[in-house]
């Protein structure tokens, strides 16, 4: 039995709130992150379908996880509709090569910031598409072709005969046996097709919502040009025809009282109403599959653009992306989007790979993640979280979060060996990358780690940019000719210490680790011996 009542996880419930109330809630939510748990298994469906046969560059899943991009996505996501959420997820994965398109993307987000009346009309039109069930729409348009009954006329005939026999039974009880026979036949038909087309049916049900919303948006008369409106107006006749033909084929059971819902469910079982609607929908919609994909993208991109606009309204500052062909990073007050009180950092014309040293918790890992996220943001959405940033167009690849695999009997070191080997192979492809590596080869002994790290980093550095953190200050001498040196450190003043999270140029000359032991109450016999041993080791290295 087709049960499309489903869960409605909408921002606004049309059956409970007036237009005025819904508009008030939209305004209250503007510029704020939404308190919802994203269903990434369904959100990523659009990206998976679009990217699987594409030659374009996308953020790989390892880098996505290393840079906490799911959390960044959740912060950016203020979409009304399921398609909008899917589209934004896809945009955030894509390295857009067309600078003009990136410029239009950020320009439109700023347009919606400055024109609340237009964006609110769009948001109101999209609110019936807020259910998680709308994630299934794209499967209809880009997924495998839905199952269509081999002989549609049998479905139509069986439904019609069932209704006729029911009506005839009121005039002649002999037709009761015909009612019984047709009911049993239709129950069998329902059983055969229900499991095979249930998910597709949900997609078609929600595709009707997309068509209705797109039709409404196509009638908007904006004072300025909105590119998506032009797309929808171009397909107005198709949308109008489908809206009229399919609108009444699927009844929105969520808006009926329980008794009416029960009656319709029984009619579905015995008269095949849902199966008839499904079959007609498949035949009608697949005539315009390509046009409906354009409609989907237009509606989804409108929602995503407004979502980005809401995010930009909530942050202290940002800058439009600027690109240069040479491998060189320059940025002024670049900050990390996931920190409540981020400390901005600046660099001017970093044209060589960077070795970044310093103590734990001083900000090394956060800094390289911040650069990676902003390089992606610049090429995906057209802005950076900075006063100004000039980036080359580089593909970000990372090796940050590495874990042992007990089930696969893989040690931490072996896992890292495999990951770094993949980076070496990528570095030889001729494409340009920024490799972000945290604590390189930390899983092996000091002597071999230094030799392996220096050799690998020199190879990765060839025609690429490498940002690598390490505790091995000895690497500074080994890589001095090919890497720029930077460091973070803790600040020690009298009897207290703190982190300023500011990057400093140059090698790390000394450490405060032993002093920190003293400040945290370690016995003096331990700290004094530690200082003597450290001094002997350093003197031996100098010799």
State residue 121's pLDDT score.
93
Considering the domain architecture, whether residues 277 and 337 belong to the same structural domain is answered as no
* Domain shared by 167 and 303, yes or no: yes
What's the confidence (pLDDT) of residue 249?
A: 52
**How many structural domains does the chain have?**
2
**Alpha helices (runs of H) in 219-272, residue ranges in sequence order:** 227-234, 236-246, 258-271
Q: Are residues 51 and 192 in the same domain?
A: yes
* CB burial readout 286-319, b (16+ within 10 A) else e: eebeebbebbbbbbbbbbbbbbbbbbbeeeeebb
Distant-in-sequence, close-in-space partners of 359: CB < 8 Å, separation ≥ 6: 471, 488, 489, 490, 511, 512, 513, 516
Residues 187 and 111 in one domain: yes
Domain match, 402 and 298 both: no
- Residue 219, CA distances (Å) to 230, 235, 237, 240 in order: 10, 11, 11, 10
Is the same domain home to 41 and 161? yes
CA-nearest of 300, 375, 383 to 129 is 300
User: Which of 287, 312, 337 marks a domain boundary?
Assistant: 312
**pLDDT score for 409:** 44
> Does some domain include residue 379?
yes
Domain presence at residue 527: no
Q: Do 348 and 199 reside in the same domain of the chain? A: no
- Looking at residue 509, its pLDDT comes to 67
Four-CA torsion 274, 278, 284, 286, nearest 10 degrees: 160
Q: How does pLDDT run across 478-507, given as a tens digit for each residue?
A: 998 899 999 998 777 767 777 889 999 988
Whole-number pLDDT of residue 5 = 34
114 and 148 assigned to the same domain? yes
Pick out the chain residues at pLDDT < 50.
1-16, 404-409, 543
Q: Look at residue 14 in the predicted model and tell me its pLDDT.
A: 47
Tell me the C-alpha distance between 316 and 332, whole Å.
Answer: 14
The domain of 506 spans 319-511
Looking at residue 288, the DSSP 8-state letter turns out to be: G
Is 3 domain-assigned?
A: no
Q: Is there a single domain that holds both residue 292 and residue 368?
A: no
Q: Indicate if 349 and 495 belong to the same structural domain.
A: yes
Phi, psi for 332 (deg, rounded to 5):
-120, 115
Assign residue 368 the CATH number of its domain: 3.40.50.300
Q: Are 328 and 391 in contact (CB under 8 A)?
A: no
CA end-to-end span of the chain, whole Å? 83
Same domain, 259 and 336: no
Question: Are residues 299 and 390 both part of a single domain?
Answer: no
Domain boundary among 293, 312, 331: 312
């Amino acid at each position: 039995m087709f049960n499309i009542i489903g869960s409605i996880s909408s921002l606004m419930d049309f059956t409970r709130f007036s237009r005025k109330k819904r508009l008030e809630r939209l305004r209250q939510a503007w510029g704020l992150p939404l308190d919802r748990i994203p269903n990434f298994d369904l959100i990523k469906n659009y990206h998976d379908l679009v990217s699987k046969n594409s030659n374009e560059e996308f953020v790989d899943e390892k880098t996505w996880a290393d840079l906490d991009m799911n959390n960044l996505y959740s912060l950016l996501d203020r979409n009304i509709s399921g398609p909008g959420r899917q589209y934004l997820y896809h945009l955030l994965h894509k390295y857009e090569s067309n600078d003009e398109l990136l410029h239009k993307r950020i320009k439109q987000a700023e347009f919606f910031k400055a024109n609340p009346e237009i964006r609110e009309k769009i948001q109101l039109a999209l609110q019936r598409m807020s259910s998680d069930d709308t994630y299934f729409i794209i499967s209809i348009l880009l997924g495998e072709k839905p199952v269509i009954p081999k002989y549609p006329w049998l479905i139509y005939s069986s439904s019609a005969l069932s209704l006729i026999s029911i009506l005839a039974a009121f005039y002649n009880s002999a037709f009761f046996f015909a009612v019984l026979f047709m009911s049993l036949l239709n129950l069998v038909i329902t059983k055969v097709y229900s499991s095979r087309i249930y998910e597709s049916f949900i997609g078609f049900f929600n595709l009707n919502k997309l068509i209705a919303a797109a039709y409404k948006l196509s009638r908007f008369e904006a004072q300025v040009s909105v590119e998506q409106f032009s797309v929808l107006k171009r397909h107005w006749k198709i949308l109008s025809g489908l809206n009229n033909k399919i609108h009444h084929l699927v009844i929105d059971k969520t808006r009926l009282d329980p008794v009416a819902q029960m009656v319709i469910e029984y009619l579905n079982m015995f008269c095949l109403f849902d199966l008839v609607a499904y079959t007609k929908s498949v035949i009608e919609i697949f005539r315009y599959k390509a046009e409906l994909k354009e409609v989907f993208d237009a509606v989804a991109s409108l929602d995503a653009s407004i979502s980005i606009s809401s995010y930009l309204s909530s942050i202290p500052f940002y800058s439009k992306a600027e690109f240069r062909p040479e491998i060189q990073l320059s940025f002024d007050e670049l900050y990390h989007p996931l920190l409540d009180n981020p400390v901005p950092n600046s660099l001017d014309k970093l044209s060589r790979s960077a070795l970044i040293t310093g103590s734990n918790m001083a900000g090394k890992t956060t800094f390289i993640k911040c650069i990676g996220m902003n390089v992606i943001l610049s090429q995906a959405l057209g802005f950076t979280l900075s006063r100004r940033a000039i980036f080359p167009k580089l593909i970000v690849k990372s090796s940050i979060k590495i874990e042992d695999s007990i089930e696969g009997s893989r040690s931490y070191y072996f896992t890292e060996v495999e990951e770094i080997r993949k980076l070496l192979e990528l570095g030889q492809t001729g494409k340009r990358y920024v490799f972000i590596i945290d604590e390189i080869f930390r899983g092996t002994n000091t002597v071999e780690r230094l030799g392996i790290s220096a050799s690998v980093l020199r190879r990765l550095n060839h025609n690429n940019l490498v940002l690598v953190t390490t505790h091995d200050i000895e690497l500074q001498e080994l890589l001095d000719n090919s890497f720029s040196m930077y460091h973070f450190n803790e600040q020690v003043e009298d009897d207290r210490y703190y982190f300023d999270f500011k990057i400093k140029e140059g090698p790390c000359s000394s450490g405060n680790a032993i002093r920190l032991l003293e400040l945290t109450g370690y016995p003096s016999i331990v700290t004094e011996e530690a200082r003597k041993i450290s001094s002997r080791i350093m003197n031996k290295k100098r010799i």
